[in-house]
Amino acid sequence: SSGINAEWPLRPGVMQSVIETGRVLRDRNTIPIKYPLKEVVLVDADPATLSDAKSLESYIVSEMNVKKLTVSSDKQKYDVKLTAKPNHMILGKRLKKDFKAVSAAIVKLTDVELSEMKEAGHREILGHDIGYDELHVSYEVKSESGSYAAASMHNVLVLLDCTLDQEMFDEGLAREVINRIQKLRKKAKLVPTDKISIFHKIDSTKKDGSEDLARSVRNYQDLIETGVKSPFSGEPAQDNVIISEEVEVKGCKFLLTLCGDVKKSSSGPVVQWPGGRPAGEYFTVVYNGSSREVLLQSNGHRLTAMRLENEVKAMFGLFGRTVSLSLDDSPIKCSTRDLDFLAGSTVTVTA
């Protein structure tokens, strides 16, 4: 027991480093978090670090939206090499006329030489003492097993396979559709317990990516329905329309319509349960001035803190971010399984 407690603080640090580095790599390659990727690889010589990461694999792959996590101590297997360029602003000003020659020498530094320089903090180059922090250092990956991008943060080397095949692209599009539906629900002032049906109209003959979108919603209908907890189809919308609006995904415009047993007010679409409140015990979650009602039990399943975190990410579009939940400034632990004490209260979300 004491051994587990002593090691536990290491694990969130490793997990957070991998996740943060993965986000940087996604940003560099302009791949939004909604689009799943095949693999993230953690390379480290320390077996304890690799073990820590592997023990938290489910969290890492969920936060990074990747299919699998691979850990390895063999950097050569992925042909990862350090490369460097001079910091022109710093070295150009300091070296003046010698900058051009030193710059050429810096670019030619090998992975071994840069690793030694990193360890020492500096290196003599053509008679000048050059600091490691005066270079722009990056990782280059030449592996043929995937299109990897690499970066290091907090001494953790992370490789992200940025190959986006059609299946993963289509799943990403489906997640974009879920996001647009959630935004439309918010605009209509719906709460999670409001029973609605969702209809879409996509003109797949257009040359704006509509064909890809139509294929995506067809192949990932189950994913979309699970994400929005409502029926989703391309059939003609019903008469009892709550809200209907043209939305856009990746340059493709299409019509989304939400229908249900509701009434419109003169001030706009306002949806309520017949009694004015959700059917069942519920509480309110608040994030950045927006609020939602959440049922403590849905479809016979009691809500847990871990499931609530996922619900919150879907509600407020916080995929890929770490969220914290608190009640009266007291944090709610992710291990909490019985949330009945939240009935009628307000939970604050920070991300």
| Amino acid 266: pLDDT | 39
List the single range of 73-77, 132-136, 223-227, 295-299 with lowest mean pLDDT. 295-299
User: What are the b/e assignments for 103-123, b being 16+ CB within 10 Å?
Assistant: beebeebebeebeebbeeeeb
Percent of the chain with pLDDT over 90: 31
Question: Residue 326 pairs with which residues in a beta bridge?
Answer: 331, 348
**Predicted local distance difference test score (pLDDT) of residue 122:** 93
- Average confidence (pLDDT) over 130-155: 78
pLDDT, position 236: 77
pLDDT confidence tier of residue 251, bands split at 50, 70 and 90: confident
Instruction: Copy the structure tokens of residue 187.
Output: 């605009």
Strands 282-287 and 346-350, how do they pair? parallel
Query: What pLDDT does residue 279 have?
Result: 53
Label residue 1 by pLDDT band (50, 70, 90). Answer: very low
Query: What is the per-residue pLDDT for 11?
Result: 56
Of 282, 285, 281, 294, residue with least CA distance to 323: 285
Please give the structure tokens belonging to residue 232: 């989703």
Q: How high is the pLDDT of residue 299?
A: 60
For the residues 180-191, what does the mean pLDDT come to?
87
pLDDT greater than 70 at residue 145: no
Per-range mean pLDDT, top range of 190-194, 239-243, 278-282: 239-243
User: What are the tokens at 238?
Assistant: 């019903």
Residue 48: which H helix or E strand, with range? helix 47-55
Hey, how many other C-beta atoms are within 10 angstroms of the C-beta on 266?
A: 5
Confidence band for 310, pLDDT divided at 50, 70 and 90: confident
Residues 269, 257: Cα–Cα separation, whole Å: 13
Cα four-point dihedral sign 222, 228, 229, 230: negative
Looking up tokens 């890492």 gives: 60
pLDDT band for position 6 (50/70/90)?
Answer: very low
Which residues, 6+ apart, have CB-to-CB distance to 5 below 8 Å? none
- Stated length of the chain: 351
Residue 124 or 79, more confident: 124
Question: Alpha-carbon distance 67 to 39, whole Å?
Answer: 6
The residue among 93 and 143 whose pLDDT is bigger is: 93
What is the rounded end-to-end Cα distance, in angstroms, of the chain?
A: 31
Considering only residues 82 and 279, tell me which one the structure prediction assigns the higher pLDDT.
82
Q: Which residue has the higher pLDDT, 76 or 105?
A: 105
Please state the three-class secondary structure of 101-130 as a single string. Answer: HHHHHHHCCCHHHHHHHHHHCEEEECCEEE
pLDDT surpassing 90 at residue 69: yes
State residue 170 phi and psi, 5-degree precision: -65, -40
Q: Per-residue pLDDT tens for 204-233?
A: 777 767 888 999 999 999 889 888 888 898
pLDDT for 144 beyond 60: no
Q: What is the pLDDT of residue 113?
A: 92
Instruction: Give the residue among 125, 158, 151 at the shortest CA–CA distance from 137.
Output: 151
31-64: pLDDT as tens digits: 998 899 999 999 887 888 888 888 888 888 988 9
Where does the pLDDT of residue 268 fall: very low under 50, low under 70, confident under 90, or very high at 90 and above?
Answer: very low
pLDDT at 48: 85
Which region among 57-61, 134-138, 265-269, 320-324 has the lowest average model confidence (pLDDT)? 265-269
For CA atoms 61, 64, 69, 73, the dihedral sign is negative
pLDDT band at 146 (very low <50, low <70, confident <90, very high): low
Q: Is the pTM of this model over 0.75?
A: no
Mean pLDDT, the chain, rounded, equals: 82
